[in-house]
Amino acid sequence: MCWTAKSLVRGLSFSVKYYPRNNHLQALCLCSKTKPYKCHILDWSRSPYNSTVPPRRILAWRLFSCKEGTKITSITTSEVSCKDLLKSEQENWNKISRSYKTVTKRIKEKIEELHNKYTLHLESPRIRFGGNIYFEENGYIFCSKADDDKGNVHILFSTEDMGFSGAYIKRIRISPDERYLAIGLKSENSEEASCVIMKLGDVPIVEEVIPNVFSFEWATNDVLYYTSQKNLKCQNVFMTTFTTEKYTKLVYTEQDARFFVDIYCTKDRRFLTINSNSKTTSEVWLIDCRHPFKLPVLVQARTKGVIYHVEHRNNELYILTSYGEPAEYKLMKTSVASTGMANWKLVYALEEKTKLIDLEMFRDHCIMFLQKTGYLYLNVIAFVSHSVQSIQLPTWACAFELESHPEHASSTCYFQLSSPVHPPRRFAYSFKENNLIEQAAEEVPIIMNCHTTRLLAKSKDETLVPITVFHNMNSKELRRKPLLVHVYGAYGIDLNMSFKEEKLMLIEEGWILAYCHVRGGGELGLRWHKDGCQHNKLKGLYDLKACIMLLHELGFSQPKYTALTAASAGGVLAGAICNSDPELIRAMVLQAPFVDVLNTMMKTHLPLSIEEQEEWGNPLADEKCMKYIKNYCPYHNIKPQCYPSVFITAYLNDQRVPLTGILRYVQKLRKATLDHASRTRKKGNWIPNIILDIQAGGSHCDSSWEDSLNEVARHVAFLKKELQV
């Protein structure tokens, strides 16, 4: 959607997967097809920069039997240095990985086959800007004339030819007069990007390379604003000119470490907005694009607990905000001349327990994409007639991707719908015809043999928790089928339910997939998140337990065929349930898991610890908070008992989840399983596999297609071996 925080959670604006398209036609954001970047099991980072992000973008099996006499060594962090421990784990994985090689190869081949069948047909989106068409393929940015039927194109940029080998295109911004092209480039295994400025012409040339840039926008033909990023933080906004008297100056600095700053250009290109967001609070400053050298003007001073994001239409600001009761998103408006909160007037308020997924502004309409009771809806607000039309989208749809709509006066809104097991299908809503149209349906094979079930589990405090279940319609005796449970439950972020080839593969092989939308996530709106953060974190754990128990009660598998998967902050709930109720699952796969909450939050020198106090609390300043975190923290609650088998993928240079915490967790967990085995030798020496795969490549948020494919194949191979399926 076009709201400011769009660019925070999802880095790319112009991709069929995760990354947000931003506002204007000039906001061409692309993802290279040479290296399709996908996060599979890893759906969101531990902290997606900020979680004030409104819609989208404004991120048990019992124990595996080891043969008698199998020797498993356990090393504690007090005995060796972290470096030695890392080396030991890498050597251990090198030995273990050999046993997965054959199965992993077969799984990779199957996933690639599904990828070629369902994904590769999607061509790069074409964006019209003035009389030109822009698009990207294989690391190249192309341009052609809109009225050229012969297919003549010329190359504006190439990552290889321009000396940026190994980088991928994150997004681009075209200057209003099309003389300049600003390109965001990100290298593999790095959180930081650079902005490359190209001067267009008969022979495009690199004008400048600005390092460590997060977001950037053209204010005019030759004035660019950008934010700098350092150690996962964005707190400075700069302006740079490409006039005869070129210069760069600092125009804004955020002093509060809890706040993250980005910039955004309104859909009509009237204003640039400087957006400073913490996890719970927002503040926006306006830069008039007609007067780009004037100082920014404050819209509304930050008010604790109030989130707001700004668009512009007809000299009025349209404000998406949590201001007022109930504290859910509302669309409000006010005059540009009087922007203070006291002047905000309600345009539209969301119903209770409704998730605002995305929003797009047009000249005379606003489209909201909503989720209610597990189903997706499209609400069309007509500004002229003041009417609201609600359209339910196909019931199989669980995720959507709004395509870039650069023309403010466009009469059609294009978007894609998908689910974990349904490939993306393109739809269009026409304002003129007032109807929904599916585009080129014949291009995407329809998945016919998968059934979607939506359930409600009653948690400990009687709260009803949604579950989305997928299974093969031809499957019989579901109780004997393997079940893969997904959970996240943090930052107000939904579980990623877009299409994944490996999920379809599992369905075809008879697996059951269950997505547990526990508190702490955002599936039921802002309150659903609030009810699962800080002193409410245990509610997410109770929700997850209730979901798994209901699935088993209804005949969806049983504990010895049940696995749990989570990534990043989802590791908190996954690790917690392994401590509290290990008998519910047989195995667990974690990717870059946040499992050492207390120690991490007490180290304020780490990049995200201060910023994330609004999510987890501040144990250094609040003794009750410290005790509460200690009560659920996965690392601190490990004890000798029957644990599930665990496979963890971690990254050597992960800036978001410290590797030291994962190393400590793995060692402590191994020791606990060995202690339990030694005490219960007479009952059978059942010892789970605790495997740590530390990747030198890849990063917390992004992996190349090949790295991601290898990771997913290893995870599935592990699950099949542990479940013996």
Are 429 and 381 a contacting pair, CB within 8 Å? no
For 432, other C-beta atoms within 10 Å of its C-beta total 7
Would you state the structure tokens that stand for residue 721, as one six-digit string?
Answer: 């071996």
User: Which amino acid appears at position 172 of this protein?
Assistant: I
Options 700, 703, 707, 715, the catalytic residue: 700
E strands, 431-561, in order: 435-439, 450-458, 464-472, 483-486, 512-516
- Helices of type H across 525-658: 526-530, 537-553, 570-580, 597-601, 613-616, 623-632
Q: Which residue has the tokens 């002047």?
A: 343
| CA 661 – CA 646 distance, rounded (Å) | 16
At 534, give phi and psi (nearest 5°): 50, -115
Catalytic residue among 568, 609, 704, 708: 568
What is the chain's length?
A: 725
- Rounded to whole angstroms, how far apart are CA atoms 546 and 528? 16
Distance CA(555)–CA(553), nearest Å, equals 5
* 8 Å CB contact between 331 and 360: no
Which backbone phi and psi does 333 adopt, to 5 degrees? -145, 160
Torsions phi, psi of 74, nearest 5? -125, 125
Q: Within 13 A of 554's CA, how many CA atoms are on the CB side?
A: 17
The helix/strand/coil state of 40 is: coil
Burial 223-232 (b: 16+ CB within 10 A, else e): bbbbbbbeeb
Reply yes or no on whether 654 is catalytic.
Answer: yes
Distance in angstroms (rounded) separating the CA atoms of residues 706 and 90 = 20
Pick left, alpha or beta for residue 449 (phi over 0 → left; psi -120 to 50 → alpha; otherwise beta): alpha
Radius of gyration of the chain (CA): 25
User: Can you tell me the distance from the alpha carbon of 518 to that of 461, in angstroms, rounded to the nearest whole number?
Assistant: 13
CB 649 within 8 Å of CB 710:
no
What are the backbone angles phi and psi of residue 121, rounded to the nearest 5°? Answer: -70, -15
Query: Which amino acid makes up residue 641?
Result: Q
- Amino acid code (one letter) for 706: E
DSSP conformational letter for 698: -
Which strand (E) or helix (H) includes residue 213? strand 213-218
Choosing from 222, 262, 543, 654, which is the catalytic residue? 654
Q: Are strands 167-174 and 180-187 parallel, antiparallel or unpaired?
A: antiparallel
How many other CB atoms sit within 10 Å of the CB of residue 150? Answer: 7
- Separation CA 233–CA 62 (nearest Å): 42
User: Which of 270, 263, 348 minimizes the C-alpha distance to 309?
Assistant: 263
Helix, strand, coil percent content, the chain, rounded in steps of 5: 25, 35, 45
| Active site residues per annotation | 568, 654, 700
